[in-house]
Structure 1
Amino acid sequence: MANAPKNLDVVHLTQALITRPSVTPVDAGAMDTVQQVLESLGFTCTRLKFGEIENLYARRGTSAPNLCFAGHTDVVPSGVRNLWRYDPFGAEIHDGAVIGRGAVDMKGGVAAWIAAVSRHDDLSGSQKGSLSFLITGDEEGVATDGTIRVVEWLKDQGEIIDHCIVGEPSSSAQLGDMIKVGRRGSVNATFTVTGKQGHVAYPQRALNPLPVLVDLLGALKARMLDDGYDQFPPSNLEITTIDTGNTATNIIPQDARARINIRFNPAHTGAQLCAWFDEVAAQFAAKTGAQIEVKSTISGEAFLTEASTFVDLIANVIKDTLGLDTDRSTTGGTSDARFIRALCPVVEFGLVGQTMHQINECVAVADLEALTDTYSALIEAYFSKFGSSS
């Protein structure tokens, strides 16, 4: 693909990516497809493999500012095959939509930005700058060998990214109706309470871990974490599992476990919440005599990309191209934006996410084409605003 044509077909590129069954951590050639197209467009590509994960950083141009597009080529499993109307990796078009796993999350978004870039020559003249791509194969997995490792590599290389667009399916019901300017943090904790097994008829000879665990969870749930934060909803704690593995009816179990998750706004840090878990566990252990072990994992910290010329530029392009006043949101789960924000201001803007991770995931052809047009307008507007004069 040494001489790729201008105006790459976004639909064909989306189909080419979907037909690569790149279920995390398997790449299945998806990154090769991206690299071949980008090299044909004049990008210098660096493949970065960490563990089993294929990653790619590509750049065209050497001057500032550097506008980066970040995305992922890995997808979640397709689920039960016979529930799909069509092959989840066949990328067939039916009723005006491309059907397949990853269509909106987020191979369609990757294809749309690449197609938009194909409309722009190397930046020259009075407006200068660079375009880059940060593409990972580990967004849908544990995210330990993906974007977070590439960000570390970029820092080590002294590579500067000035602003970043993450192509996650941020739109809610209509293309462009929502962008993400921040995300809540996420922390998981597992509590294991160890008591003493015994016969239910002789509770004085045992120490039942279940009431201890239930009371501990009740204390955690009773705390009002906050009543919200600027542009964020209140933080919430959810109990996601409780179990003992006890199959007998006449045994007080030896131990019991529970797991919780907190989605938190910038009123907290992950470290503060983990310290709180340890404090509450120690209090209940001292009061009951049970042993309580806590294992906590911080998946990401809360962040907000403050109102700025960059955020306004994206909103204005959406208004001019799609005719919508976009909602600047912080809702949803975590994304790789939580790692990229260590480098530069980051905003998520992509396709409508209503079918992501679902059976029969699909993207409207019209949305792919409209997103490509909007991305193209965004690239032009960005370098007109931020491009350095020669």
Structure 2
Amino acid sequence: MTTDPVDLSARLIRCPSVTPEEGGALQLLSGVLSEAGFDCVRVDRNGVPNLFARWGARGARSFGFNGHTDVVPVGARAEWTRDPFGGAVEEGILWGRGATDMKTGVGAFVAAAVDFVRETPPDGAIILTITGDEEGPGRDGTRALLDYMATEGEAMSVCLVGEPTSQQQIGDMMKIGRRGSMTFFIEARGVQGHAAYPQRARNPLHGLIDLLARMTATPLDTGTAHFEASTLQVTTIDCGNPANNVIPARASATVNIRFNDAHSSGAIIHWAKELMAEVTQASGVIFGLRTEVSGESFLTPPGEFVALVRDAVQAETGIAPELSTSGGTSDARFVKDHCPVLEFGLVGKTMHKVDEHVEVEQILRLKAIYGRILRAYFA
């Protein structure tokens, strides 16, 4: 009997696993996988639930899947037309929080892996790393799983992340990399004073505006072979000054940067500090900089692994997927330090929205694609 990915996905949706709550989702998966012969280990860290599962011998050539069962909050529950944790299937549609991002991706690859090892036990291992922290800070989820694997001598030869990558129809896009993401929190320090006597003060806003103008005057680049141009966006400027006749002492700004493989986060930080030094010399305004790096840019170059996944997608859908590096970040940014990693999943049009849903046919098709990928890899 084959494993129904729609039923498994619906059961996962019924687990209220809003980050960082486990909600029963990993318990459910552990039961399904253990019954199929997978060795399952909970790798919880700092209250974050994670599951490691392996079928086959440790140290063997292995195919890995990565995904998450945590979901974002439902928002205004009264706006939902169905129970966000009901997992209802109506007229060929599965409804609920996580229906696209990404309990169906997990349901599809778990179902494909279970059926594969039962029907055609592979010469090698299948490893599943499933976290409850992808929608949260990301510090104790897939990172914890990779740390556990390093300690225990576990390894994936390649990994496929089941994030929703398709745009209009399943199969039209797969991710071979992602842009890096970082945020600057900038503080400008001047001297407070009366607006009528600017010579007795030093306006931090003027220096900050100058700095931001220099940052945005010229694009960071025009793109690379596999990436769009990097972007830099000023997202807020604040000084907390309620008076119209006072030059404030401090001002702040936040800048978000999405960068391609022409840069590293360190190089961009160095560039920003050089601009700050120039503005300080010109204006006397002093700058402080705090940075948060969500992930570096990475690329899995077209080659054997990319071709295997692309060909499997095309065989099942009739569509040659676009090889893309667009979009935000995913846990692939952590996996890329462990092994070659790609992302492929269903259409994500409703992810994080009220009345999140997906067509049942997509889930069935996704399981078939993942199964074909496994057969091709271990052929």
State the TM-score bracket (shorter-chain normalisation). over 0.9
Deviation of residue 263 (structure 1)? 0.7
8 A Cα contact 1:24 1:138, kept in partner: yes
Structure 1 segment 138-287 matched on structure 2, within 5 A:
138-287=133-282
- Cα offset for 1:95? 3.7
* Cα contact 1:116–1:375 (8 A) shared by 2: yes
Partner amino acid for 1:273?
Answer: I
Name 2:89's counterpart in structure 1: 93
Deviation at 1:124, TM superposition (A): 6.5
Cα deviation, residue 123, structure 1: 7.9
The counterpart of 1:80, out of the listed 62, 76, 82, is: 76
Partner of 2:44: 49
- Mapped to 1, the partners of 2:80 and 2:240 lie a distance apart of 35
Q: Is the 8 A contact 1:194 1:254 kept in 2?
A: yes
Cα deviation for residue 253 of structure 1 reads: 1.8
Give the equivalent residue in structure 1 for 2:320.
Answer: 325
Q: 1:313 aligns with which of 271, 283, 308?
A: 308
- 1:106 counterpart = 2:102: yes
TM-score by length of 2: 0.96
Amino acid aligned to 1:51: N
Whole-angstrom CA distance in 2 between matches of 1:41 and 1:204: 77
| Other structure's SS at 1:267 match | coil
CA deviation after TM superposition for structure 1 residue 271, in Å: 0.8
Partners of 1:178 and 1:117 in 2: how far apart? 22
Among 8, 11, 15, the residue aligned to 2:6: 11
Runs of 4+ in 1 over 4 A off after TM superposition: 122-125
- Cα deviation 1:120-141 (Å, max 9, x = unaligned): 235877x511111001111111
Q: Aligned partners of 1:185, 1:298: CA distance in 2, in Å?
A: 8
2:36/2:118 contact within 8 Å kept? no
Matched, 1:20 2:15: yes
Select between 243-252 and 34-43 the one with higher mean Cα deviation.
Answer: 243-252
Is the 8 Å Cα contact of residues 301 and 338 (structure 1) preserved in structure 2? yes
Indicate if the aligned counterparts of 1:60 and 1:122 stay in contact, CA closer than 8 A. Answer: no
Letter of the 2:238 partner, please give it: D
Could you tell me which of 30, 33, 38 is aligned with 1:35? 30
Q: Tell me what 1:356 maps to.
A: 351
The one-letter amino acid paired with 1:90 is G
Inter-partner Cα distance in structure 1 for 2:361 and 2:119:
28
Structure 1 gap ranges (5+): 1-5, 385-390
> Retained in 2: the 8 A contact 1:281–1:294?
no
Within 1, Cα distance between the matches of 2:49 and 2:117? 28
* 1:128 and 2:130 aligned: no
* Residue 340 of structure 2 corresponds to residue 345 of structure 1: yes
Alpha-carbon deviations, 1:103-134, whole Å to 9, x = none?
11000000011111232235877x51111100
The Cα RMSD (Å) is: 1.5
- Work out the number of aligned pairs and report it: 378
% identity of equivalent residues: 44
1:204 Cα deviation after fit: 2.2
Gaps of 5+ in 2: none
Tell me how far apart the structure 2 counterparts of residues 104 and 241 of structure 1 sit (CA, whole Å). Answer: 31
Aligned partner letter, 1:171: S
Aligned to 1:387: none
What does residue 295 of structure 1 align with? 290
For 2:23 and 2:250, the matched residues in 1 are separated by 43
TM-score (norm. length: structure 1): 0.94
Find the counterpart in structure 1 of residue 114 from structure 2.
118
